[in-house]
């Protein structure tokens, strides 16, 4: 069988070898024989919205910090593997086949990645987004602009009697540099050093000190894993109220999820994700308030009996992205999921694309007025737009002025 070995290295392509692990060979044999057995015995393959073996579809809104992607219908091959995983002895091998060897059997996978302008293929099937690994190096002038904008945001909120926290999440390539393979990433590493210097400001929090390693990243997706989100939000929670996050009970649920990068390449592979949830004595109640920006509701979370500070989280997709089934709710396992249980009042709103004008929206103005702490959460690759001069400070100044006039 022909095997494509073309991978991207920056803008170039190089050859790379691939070995067949024993589990993949065994799984391949299963792939050949199981369909025959199913045909002979008359077993049918089912799948759909009510089939727990089939993960639900979801949308990631198109913006500067994420990618437009809707999971395609599960293929016959995916349905077959789901059936095998649930019902056939040795299902772990079938699952390993579904996650890894489909890219070898469908030998166009590496070629599809090589031809895609947005996605790079690293080691062990890990995918990386180009706007991170191809990022330009931050100049001294740009760093000064970012620093001035971050300081101005803090000063505006301090003058209004509110605390400001700017939390910066590391890019996935910074979390797992060993998985980049031949992909060049010098500028992103240099830019991570800029984030370290920003982290020396009193109200800036560099989450890279807690978010690192493959456990905190996703193989097929641009976002951090639930474990990474929890580690980052633990830093934020304890920054707001030191020691508040203290060995909570964590519930685990293993789910299969597609990834936005894999979808961009035109495939429907899934990866196993350990979805973490913080056990709560009192459930969190949610209310969505529509803003003037479609798809950007302000979501109000109330957890009675939790800590007193009122928190507003203004974020990109690392803070939360939407489930297709209910666009007013955020996908479980993203940042806000691990912030809500700790404080009695947590509002959150996601900025849209390369602008933050939603900060001056009437619903958000009210939330800023009521908040004790305003947290901004952005991923490193988005800072070039997020901390552009005036992008945060100008709508924030408008919002604070509007709140003052209302009073």
Q: Which of 132, 113, 111, 133 is nearest to 121 (CA)?
A: 113
| Mean pLDDT score, 132-161 | 95
CA distances from 127 to 19, 110, 114, 155, 347 (A): 18, 11, 11, 39, 32
**pLDDT for the residue numbered 34:** 42
For 4-42, letters b (16+ CB in 10 Å) and e give beebbbeeebeeeeeeeeeebebbbebbeebbeebeeee
Supply the DSSP string of 376-396, one letter for each residue.
Answer: EEEEGGGHHHHTSTTTTHHHH
Q: What digits encode the pLDDT tens for the residues 279-292? A: 999 999 999 898 88
- pLDDT greater than 70 at residue 75: no
**pLDDT for the residue numbered 107:** 62
Q: What digits encode the pLDDT tens for the residues 187-233? A: 999 999 999 999 999 999 999 999 999 999 999 999 999 999 999 99
Least confident of 45-54, 150-159, 260-269, 304-313: 45-54
Burial group, residue 298, by CB count within 10 angstroms (0-12, 13-18, 19+) = buried
Rg of the Cα atoms in the chain: 23
- Cα 178 to Cα 180: distance, rounded to the nearest angstrom: 6
CA 270 to the chain's CA centroid: 15
For 354-376, letters b (16+ CB in 10 Å) and e give eebbbbbbebbbbbbbebebbbb
Q: Taking a C-beta distance cutoff of 8 angstroms, is the pair 392, 356 a contact?
A: yes
- Cα 255 to Cα 373: distance, rounded to the nearest angstrom: 33
**pLDDT for the residue numbered 333:** 87
**pLDDT for the residue numbered 372:** 98
* pTM for the structure as a whole: 0.76
β-pairing, 307-315 vs 250-258, is unpaired
- Cα 198 to Cα 210: distance, rounded to the nearest angstrom: 16
**pLDDT for the residue numbered 290:** 87
**pLDDT for the residue numbered 328:** 59
- Cα 321 to Cα 61: distance, rounded to the nearest angstrom: 7
For 262-289, letters b (16+ CB in 10 Å) and e give bbbbebbbbbebebbbbebeeebeeeeb
Which residue's entry shows tokens 């191809």?
134
Q: What digits encode the pLDDT tens for the residues 149-197? A: 999 999 999 999 999 999 999 999 999 999 999 999 999 999 999 999 9
- Cα 263 to Cα 268: distance, rounded to the nearest angstrom: 6
DSSP 125: G
- Cα 279 to Cα 231: distance, rounded to the nearest angstrom: 16
**pLDDT for the residue numbered 256:** 85
């Amino acid at each position: 069988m022909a095997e494509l070995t073309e991978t991207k290295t920056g803008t170039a392509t190089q050859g790379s070898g691939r070995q067949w692990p024993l589990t993949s060979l065994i799984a391949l044999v299963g792939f050949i024989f199981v369909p025959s057995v199913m045909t002979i015995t008359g077993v049918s393959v089912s799948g759909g919205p009510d089939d727990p073996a089939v993960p639900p579809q979801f949308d990631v809104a198109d913006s500067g910090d994420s990618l437009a992607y809707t999971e395609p219908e599960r293929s016959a091959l995916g349905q077959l593997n789901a059936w095998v995983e649930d019902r056939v002895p040795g299902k772990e091998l079938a699952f390993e086949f579904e996650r890894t060897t489909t890219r070898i059997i469908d030998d166009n996978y590496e070629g599809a990645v090589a031809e895609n302008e947005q996605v790079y293929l690293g080691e062990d099937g890990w995918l990386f987004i180009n706007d991170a690994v191809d990022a330009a190096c931050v100049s001294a002038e740009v760093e000064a602009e970012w620093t001035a904008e971050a300081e101005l945001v803090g000063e505006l909120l301090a003058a209004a009697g509110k605390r400001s926290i700017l939390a910066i999440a590391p890019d996935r390539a910074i979390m797992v540099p060993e998985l980049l393979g031949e992909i060049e990433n010098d500028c992103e590493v240099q830019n991570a050093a800029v984030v370290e210097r920003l982290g020396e400001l009193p109200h800036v929090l560099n989450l890279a000190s807690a978010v690192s390693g493959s456990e905190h990243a996703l193989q097929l997706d641009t976002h951090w894993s639930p474990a990474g989100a929890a580690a980052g939000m633990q830093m934020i929670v304890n920054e707001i109220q030191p020691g508040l996050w203290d060995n909570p009970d964590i519930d685990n649920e293993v789910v299969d999820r597609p990834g936005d990068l894999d979808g961009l390449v035109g495939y429907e592979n899934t990866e196993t994700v350990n979805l973490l949830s913080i056990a709560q004595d009192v459930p969190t109640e949610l209310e969505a308030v529509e803003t003037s920006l479609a798809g950007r509701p302000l979501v109000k979370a109330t957890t009675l009996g939790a800590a007193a500070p009122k928190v507003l989280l203004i974020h990109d997709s690392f803070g939360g992205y939407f489930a297709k089934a209910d666009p007013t709710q955020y996908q479980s396992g993203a940042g806000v999921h691990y912030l809500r249980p700790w404080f009695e009042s947590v509002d959150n709103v996601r900025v849209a694309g390369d602008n933050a004008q939603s900060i001056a929206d009437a619903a958000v103005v009210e939330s800023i007025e009521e908040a004790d702490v305003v947290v901004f959460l952005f991923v490193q690759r988005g800072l070039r737009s997020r901390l552009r001069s005036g992008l945060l400070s100008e709508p924030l100044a408008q919002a604070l002025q509007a709140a003052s006039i209302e009073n």
